[in-house]
Amino acid sequence: MKILIGGAGNVGRSIVAYLSQANNDIIVVDTDKDKLESIAKEFDVQTVEGSISHPGVQEKIDAKNADILIAVTDNDEVNLIACQVGYSLFQIPKKIARVDSEYFLNPLWNTLYSDKNLPADLVISPDIEIAKSILNLLEIPGTTAVFPLVDEKLYLLGFKCNQYCPLINTEINEIKQYYNSPVIHILREDKSFFAKPNETIHINDEIFILVEKDSVFETLHEFGISVKQNENIVMFGGNAISYYIANTLEKDDSINSCKIIENNTQIAEKLAETLNDIQIIRGEMMSDVILEEAEIKNSDISVAITQNDKDNLLASLLAKKSGVPYTISLVNSSLFNNLIENSGDNVIIDRSLVTTSAMLQDLRKAKINNAYCLRQGMGEVWEVRIDENSLNIEKTINELDLPDKCKIGAIYRNSEIIYPNKDEKIEQGDILIVFVSPQAMRKTEEIFKI
């Protein structure tokens, strides 16, 4: 697949990091030569200096033969114009635009994004997607990953099994006798695999399990995960992410206090003007005086979401040292993931996975309603819809001939969740929850293409 990416900043880099793992022909365009050189050193991609919105630049990179354009510069107008140029002059089939301005994102203007007006097939706001991902983790404490499925009727949860888990050394098939929720994936010492019936749970395994909404907290309790409501929250970094989170938390009566630490005076003042019940603390977030003013010792959780990976990880380490039981750190590079263990009380948010998840339904050939990137190298989970013209209707799961590293974990049918066996027949209107490893991606796309 030939992919054009406009923008070599944090968002563009994160998308390149994910898409370069597959056999894609990627060209990155940016006006900043230094950013392009940095990306070229880290990834096997072609770089071109210039603006992705200029027709001459798109002609230079052979846009007419591109499969998809992803415009994610820091300028909304440049991204939208790039999509217009790609559509009008070069007929690029898929066009994705990053839009951060609340004015462009207002639901009143949804009709703006169409072939007749601004031809962007998908409009995404990476900061909002990251904020939503963090809010999901705040809502379900003790988890390392929360992926809502079929309109939040079902969740894929990730969590670490610690020494208090009563199911350590228990086989998966024995767990199934007591819990309807199926264990899907196990991540053990950086190796991930589908959970086989005779596989046992080990201490420090990170498991991924499908759980129906009403059973989330009960299931976590049964696995020994202590769930305590996050009432006092401290965020490091004042930006669009922290603003979205704070604005949402202001409406949550269960939140006792929420504080944002930001060292930029203008940003801090703007946040203070727009947020009513959130305390904005201006100062250096590594300062003992500032941390004391933020009452970090009394916090239930800290969220570090600056643009700098090292600052986020250091802030989380300081918070942990100060007695904060749970920390969340945003990283733009997977190289930093190993500096803090990803567990129920230290969670790493990988920008590349969150950002790319928002685009998967347009990147994949299968008929997908919703999708998420899992951990690096683990693959993806898709909501595959079975339309009336699907060739898979009336086939059993066994007859689909899925690749070995692909699994249907659940079916949503007539408002019910079904955990199927291989003899279950696919029906029109089904939504299949499909887990796909990287090695199985292409074949699975072809199976669910129609």
Residue 396 belongs to some domain of the structure: yes
Please state whether the predicted TM-score (pTM) of the whole model is above 0.75: yes
Beta bridge partners of 225: none
83 plus 180 within the same structural domain: no
Mean pLDDT, the chain, as a whole number?
89
pLDDT at 364: 85
Q: What's the full length of the chain, in residues?
A: 450
Residue 206: what pLDDT? 92
Note whether residue 378 is domain-resident. yes
Between 54-63, 69-78, 336-345, 360-369, the lowest mean confidence (pLDDT) is in 336-345
Crossing angle, helix 126-139 and helix 240-249, to 10 degrees? 40
Report the percentage of the chain scoring pLDDT > 90.
65
Residues 176 and 118 in one domain: no
pLDDT tens-place string over residues 236-262: 999 999 999 999 999 888 888 999 999
The verdict on residue 132 lying in a domain is: no
Residue 236 near residue 282, CB atoms below 8 Å: no
Identify the pLDDT of residue 386. 95
For residue 113, what pLDDT is reported? 66
Supply the CATH number for residue 217's domain. 3.30.70.1450
CATH of the domain at 50: 3.40.50.720
| Per-residue model confidence as pLDDT tens digits over 18-67 | 888 778 899 999 999 999 999 999 999 999 999 999 999 999 999 999 99
Q: What is the pLDDT at residue 242?
A: 94
CA distance 425 to 416: 15
Arithmetic mean of pLDDT, 382-409: 94
Three-state secondary structure call for residue 256 = coil
Confidence class for position 174, pLDDT limits 50, 70, 90: confident
The DSSP 8-state label assigned to residue 426 in this structure reads P
For residue 27, what are the domain limits?
2-124
How many folded domains does the chain comprise?
A: 4
Point out which residues pair with 236 in neighbouring strands. Answer: 261, 304
- Assigned domain for 137 exists: no
Q: Residues 282-310: what's their mean pLDDT? A: 92
For residues 237 and 205, state if they share a domain.
no
Tell which of 73, 95, 124 closes a domain.
Answer: 124
pLDDT tens sequence across 175-209? 877 777 788 899 998 788 898 889 999 999 999 99
Higher pLDDT, 449 or 385: 385
Kindly state whether residues 395 and 338 are assigned to the same domain: no
Strand order in the sheet with 68-71: 46-49, 25-30, 2-6, 68-71, 94-98, 122-124
Q: Which of 355, 370, 397 is the last residue of a domain?
A: 355
Q: What is the model's pLDDT at position 150?
A: 96
Q: How far apart are CA 5 and CA 151, in angstroms?
A: 30
Q: Is residue 438 part of a domain?
A: yes
Residue 365: pLDDT band with limits 50, 70, 90: confident
210 and 164 fall within a common domain = yes
SS3 261: strand
Domain limit, last residue, from 222, 243, 265: 222
Q: Are residues 60 and 48 in the same domain?
A: yes
Alpha-helix residue ranges (DSSP H) falling in 124-264: 126-139, 172-178, 216-222, 240-249
Same domain, 164 and 119: no
Is there a domain that residue 130 lies in?
A: no
Flag whether pLDDT at 357 surpasses 60.
yes
Indicate if the pLDDT at residue 340 is higher than 60. Answer: no
- Whether 80 and 6 share a structural domain: yes
Q: Note the pLDDT of residue 230.
A: 83
Same domain, 410 and 345: no
Query: Does residue 217 sit in the same domain as residue 244?
Result: no
Condensed to tens digits (0 to 9), the pLDDT of residues 265-287 reads 999 999 999 898 899 999 998 89
227 in any annotated domain: no
Residue 270 shares a structural domain with residue 343: yes
Instruction: Estimate the crossing angle of helix 10-19 against helix 33-42, to 10 degrees.
Output: 20
For residue 25, the cross-strand partners are 2
User: Would you say residue 39 lies in a domain?
Assistant: yes
**What does the pLDDT look like over 70-86, one tens digit per residue?**
999 999 999 999 999 99
Residues 247, 205 within the same domain: no
